[in-house]
Amino acid sequence: MHNKHFVLSGLIALALSISTLLSPNGVFARQTTQDTKAAKQAPKQPTANGNKFLVATGTASYYANAFHGRQTANGEIFNMREFTAAHKSLPFGTIVRVTNLNNGKMVFVTINDRGPYVGKRIIDLSKAAAKQIDMVDAGISKVKIEAYN
């Protein structure tokens, strides 16, 4: 009889442990939240069969500190450490490959804001995206953008 109580209490402890792990505050829930944050930071590259529907060249700029934490045009909070960008007309959520024509470096960004509204610039990158293609020091750069759906 003593062994039955020992086994039963062990099973109850195991069940409680599993339910804690699966609860909204458990380990698995935290991993899912972290995975979601990581996915926001680096947009997935378009698949090989993704349709390129816009190619343009022009000047890119970037925005950072003054806008960090503010609401973007699509309602998200701007985070200069994420790979996002502003474009005047591309649909929100569009993935854009931006290539710095001065050095050939490229980055994928997701459109989540409107702009730029200075001069004839064609895209405004987050600081993380600008850093990825080495244009932070210059502030602006000649780029090619390719939008995918």
- Contact between 32 and 43 under an 8 Å Cβ cutoff? The reply is no
Domain 52-148 coded CATH 2.40.40.10: yes
Distance CA 41, CA 43 (A): 6
- 64 three-state secondary structure: coil
User: Which of left, alpha, beta for 51 (phi over 0: left; psi -120 to 50: alpha)?
Assistant: beta
* pTM listed for this prediction: 0.68
| pLDDT by position in tens, the chain (length 149) | 555 544 444 444 444 444 444 444 443 333 333 434 444 556 666 655 567 788 999 999 999 888 999 999 999 999 999 999 999 999 999 999 999 999 999 999 999 999 999 999 999 999 999 999 999 999 999 999 999 87
Omega before 91 within 30 of 0, i.e. cis: no
- Contact between 148 and 103 under an 8 Å Cβ cutoff? The reply is no
Domain boundaries, the chain: 2-41, 52-148
Residue in 63, 114, 60, 62 with CA at minimum distance from that of residue 88: 114
